[in-house]
Amino acid sequence: MQNNLASPIGIFDSGYGGLTVFREIEQLMPNYDYIYLGDNARVPYGNRSFETVHEFTWQCVKKLFKLGCPLVILACNTASAKALRTIQQRDLPDYDSNRRVLGVIRPTTEVIGEYTKTRHVGIFATKGTVLSQSYVIEIEKFFPDIHVHQLACPMWVPLVENNEHLGPGADYFVKKYIDELLNQSPEIDAIILACTHYPLLRDKIQQYLPPHIRLISQGQIVAQKLNDYLKRHTEMEARLSQSGSHQFYTTDDPTDFDQKAALFLGRTISSSHLDLFI
């Protein structure tokens, strides 16, 4: 079906982190149109209550719907952990049951069994994601034999958002959190970077991690699962416009967004400010 109006795929994160997912999605599926929205004015979400994360996330998702997106990906673990279920089960049926919102936790937990031999998996995530127990619950559904060891890393998102992730302050906090997680179990042989900001710290984490431990970023997994989803849901696929366009929006300052986004994407972009309440 040929669309006259743009019907892009919406990609949402509390800030820049979702760009690490967007990068992989656009690489795998370059033909679709995309709108990225970062709620930089209110980042981080990681320490906020369930109610607040849900409220903020739903406001952003509705804005992406108004911009024409029939499908929105929450490229944020915290939002996926604390808001996705309420949005899917309560908000969407009331608002528009033909739109879809998907998260990043389920795609990751569906494949985690392929990455571990010892069946001990580590999770680095925000406090909100850890407290939600979403990874523990989802992994149990697919792989009941896997033991999950979680650690909240509250300093990592601020390091990335403030462009300090390559500096010496990052070394201290990377080593500290690795030691704390591995102290929970010496049997961990795979660790999920369960926050979309963390791939920017990947090289440093790898530097301090014992070499036998596999470090898993979610971007490629989520992109592949989205591709599979669209093959299965041809009614949604047919609604999406395909002219390869990208629009970037931030709830904060676009100049700042463009500078930092370049770090995440490895190329320059030009974003616009978005007021959620107009």
Radius of gyration of the chain (CA): 18
Q: Least distance from C-beta 53 to ligand DGL, angstroms?
A: 9
Nearer to ligand DGL, 195 or 261 (CB): 195
Q: Is 76 a catalytic residue?
A: yes
Nearer to ligand DGL, 83 or 195 (CB): 195
Nearer to ligand DGL, 129 or 271 (CB): 129
Q: Least distance from C-beta 192 to ligand DGL, angstroms?
A: 11
List residues binding ligand DGL (CB under 6 A): 13-15, 17, 43-46, 76-78, 126, 129, 157, 195-197
- Cβ partners under 8 Å of residue 82, min gap 6: 45, 50, 53, 54, 57, 128, 129, 132
Nearer to ligand DGL, 14 or 150 (CB): 14
Q: Least distance from C-beta 23 to ligand DGL, angstroms?
A: 14
The Cα 124–Cα 178 span in angstroms is 9
The Cα 249–Cα 71 span in angstroms is 17
Angle at 223 between CA 133 and CA 199, to 5 degrees: 65
The Cα 225–Cα 229 span in angstroms is 6
Q: Is 195 a catalytic residue?
A: yes
Residue matched to tokens 């770090």: 263
Q: Which residue's CB atom is positioned nearest to ligand DGL?
A: 46
From the list 60, 69, 76, 153, the catalytic residue is: 76
Whether residue 34 contacts residue 7, with contact meaning beta carbons closer than 8 Å, is answered with no
Q: Least distance from C-beta 128 to ligand DGL, angstroms?
A: 7
Nearer to ligand DGL, 197 or 204 (CB): 197
Residue matched to tokens 């795998």: 28
Nearer to ligand DGL, 148 or 240 (CB): 148
Among candidate residues 23, 26, 267, 261, the one with its CA nearest the CA of residue 160: 261
Q: Least distance from C-beta 144 to ligand DGL, angstroms?
A: 25
Distance (Å) of CA 145 to CA 42, 117, 119, 221, 258: 38, 11, 7, 21, 44
Q: Least distance from C-beta 103 to ligand DGL, angstroms?
A: 10
Distance (Å) of CA 191 to CA 4, 17, 25, 194, 202: 44, 18, 22, 9, 11
The catalytic residues are 76, 195
